[in-house]
A and B are shown apart, each in its own frame.
Chain A
Amino acid sequence: MSVVGEQLQPTIFELSRPGRGGGKIPHPPAGALDRIPASARRATPPALPEIAEPEVVRHYVNLSTLNYAVDTGFYPLGSCTMKYNPKLNEWAARLPGFAALHPLAPDAAAQGTLQLLWELEAMLAEISGMTAVTLQPAAGAQGELTGILMVRAYHASRGDLERTEVLVPDSSHGTNPATASMAGFKTITIPSAPDGGVDLDAFRAALGPRTAAIMITNPSTLGLFEARIGELLEATHAVGALAYMDGANLNAILGRFRPGEAGFDVMHINTHKTFSTPHGGGGPGAGPVGVRDALEPFLPGPRVIREADGSFRLERSGERPTSIGRVRSFFGSTGVLVRAYAYLRSHGGTGLREVSDDAVLAANYLKALVGQAYQVPFDRPCMHEFVASAADLKHRTGVRTLDVAKRLIDKGYHPPTIYFPLTVEEAMLIEPTETESLETLDGFAAALIEIAREAETDPELVTSAPHDAPVRRLDEASAARQPNLRWRGMTGSEMPCPD
């Protein structure tokens, strides 16, 4: 069974023939560019392809069928929360009133969007237990940078300039240590304890007057709630450091745990995970950041302000001198935020709690089934995702997690996240989400169990998978050694015809 289309496509450059396409834009008046000095002009026209619209459409439709997607099948990619993307949200973001609004439109012309953003900030503050929220960051990683730069500004504002270190558990996403570096901090890696949580003794030993912040993903990337979170937060604050929560796994704890209320000082939220603004094949996302009182003065600008008369406006440049400044142009990824707003309103407070309940139930159910054939390293309830390991299978049969993942493709499923977190051998991080039916979960578990059986009886079948995908495994080494990052074939007869 092939789960995606089979027809590989020529590139758009190969489809190009001089003289095809065009006719969409009225011809400009002759001499329209005469006032541009010759020295400022481009010498040769860009070698862009010339293709008629029917072929353009066929190209992109056929290419799209080579993708596996949430709308084509089960996508249990751990830490990515690949839940269903409601179509209402796509429709809403395209309403002309939202889509055609210029980012520098005067506040009076943007009241609908400003109200939506203001309400969204309030909803996210309630969900996160934080005092205030910025919607500016374009993605989770930019949210992290925003948060850690605020931490830096906070310490600096107190004359506390010796704090140069950020503590990060070894199971964290790579963005955490990369963020600490970008913000000018040194990363101190904290090992995990055998139960999967942060090693409290090692953590306490690393904390000190040089600690600016800790960055904790909770639930952790092992899919476990950090049961010692109270102790971690208390120890952090006792040395004058701040606590950052990576909200990548927020889908497990909606209405169950509010990080700000529990003592975290700052967190980001991935709207493209928890609130189902789609992933878009790698982006766009949005990474709103919530903070408690102490960090509020440092939020990036502009913020949305509600005036006494009920109207809304954007903060003006320089209005709040304590701000860390801008982290991007204009207000933010508003089109993504419209989708998040629609998602939150459609669920409401009770629906969001059900989201987490069902996500956690689905993960525990799947864990029970998958545990029949694979190791499940932590014997306690998981949150919205769990780690399975093919380490035993590998030692017995030579079949690795990578092979299991590729064989899942043949069986019609997207593989889970593999070899992450780094702390578990032959890891598979599996996150089913709350929008998958019982039949889908049963089918996926059966496929994984069948692959384990195939590994015993016919390992070659598994190690050579996938067999039913548009391409087989790729030569990634050559791709990296001699990178070919752009098409260079547009020469001679394929060059655009002159005007």
Chain B
Amino acid sequence: MVPVDLRYTKEHEWVRLDGDEAVVGITAFAADQLGDVVFVELPAVGRALAQHATFGVVESVKAVSDLFTPLGGEVVAINDALAGQPELVNSDPYAGGWMLRLKVADAAQVDGLLDAAAYEQLTSEG
């Protein structure tokens, strides 16, 4: 089951709106597909990202995947804990494994994202 209060991308990122900010991570499905995550490369705070731009890279033992931001905006925080504990992406993808906090540029972009049901549908077709 994927959390119902989040929105999703086809590339398996999730986003949670929090006022005019948004928190971004990758889904449990994505983390499972990658296997044991060993490294997460995140952007510098202050960087401006366009919607769907690459914001970093996640590495597992034998795979690597680009990360795409579901929403455009300026990076206001990154999850420093992932530097020492990248395994949080596997063990707690929707909370402790968060990656970015953005100042959202255009809240209307949310409307183009998948809701939980649509995302679940996508992964079950997998």
- Give the B-binding residues of A (Cβ under 8 A): 419, 476-477, 480-481
Contacts and interface: CB of A to CB of B under 8 A. Distances in A.
Contacts of A480: 38-39, 59, 61
A477 B39 contact: no
Mostly, the A contact residues are helix
5 contacts: A476-B61, A477-B36, A480-B38, A480-B39, A480-B59
Interface string B11-39: 00000000000000000000000001011
Contacts of B39: 480-481
Interface in B16-72: 36, 38-39, 59-62
A481 B60 CA distance: 9
B115 interface: no
A381 to B, nearest CB: 32
B61 to A, nearest CB: 5
Nearest to B61: A476
7 closest Cβ pairs, A-B complex = A477-B36, A480-B38, A476-B61, A481-B38, A477-B61, A477-B38, A481-B86
A480 B87 CA distance: 11
Contacts of A477: 36, 38, 60-61, 87
Contacts, number: 17
B107 to A, nearest CB: 34
Contacts of A476: 36, 61
Nearest to B86: A481
A477 B34 CA distance: 12
Contacts of A481: 38-39, 85-87
A419 B86 CA distance: 24
B98 to A, nearest CB: 18
Interface string B102-116: 000000000000000
Given A476-B36, A480-B59, A481-B39, 14 more contacts: A419-B62, A476-B61, A477-B36, A477-B38, A477-B60, A477-B61, A477-B87, A480-B38, A480-B39, A480-B61, A481-B38, A481-B85, A481-B86, A481-B87
A477 B59 CA distance: 10
A480 B36 CA distance: 10
Interface in B72-108: 85-87
A335 to B, nearest CB: 33
B87 to A, nearest CB: 7
A467 to B, nearest CB: 22
Contacts of B38: 477, 480-481
A235 to B, nearest CB: 31
The listed residue with most A CB atoms (<10 A of its CB), out of B36, B39, B59, is B36
A187 to B, nearest CB: 14
A368 to B, nearest CB: 31
Contacts of A419: 62
A423 to B, nearest CB: 15
Nearest to A480: B38
A476 B62 CA distance: 9
A480 B86 CA distance: 10
Nearest to B90: A477
A357 to B, nearest CB: 36
B82 to A, nearest CB: 10
Nearest to A402: B62
A419 B35 CA distance: 15
Contacts of B62: 419
B13 to A, nearest CB: 22
Nearest to B59: A480
B86 to A, nearest CB: 6
A480 B35 CA distance: 13
A481 B81 CA distance: 13
A412 to B, nearest CB: 26
B41 to A, nearest CB: 13
A134 B95 CA distance: 56
A476 B87 CA distance: 13
Nearest to A476: B61
A98 B62 CA distance: 41
A477 B87 CA distance: 9
Nearest to B85: A481
Contacts of B87: 477, 481
A100 B106 CA distance: 70
Contacts of B86: 481
A407 B54 CA distance: 40
A477 B61 CA distance: 6
A480 B85 CA distance: 11
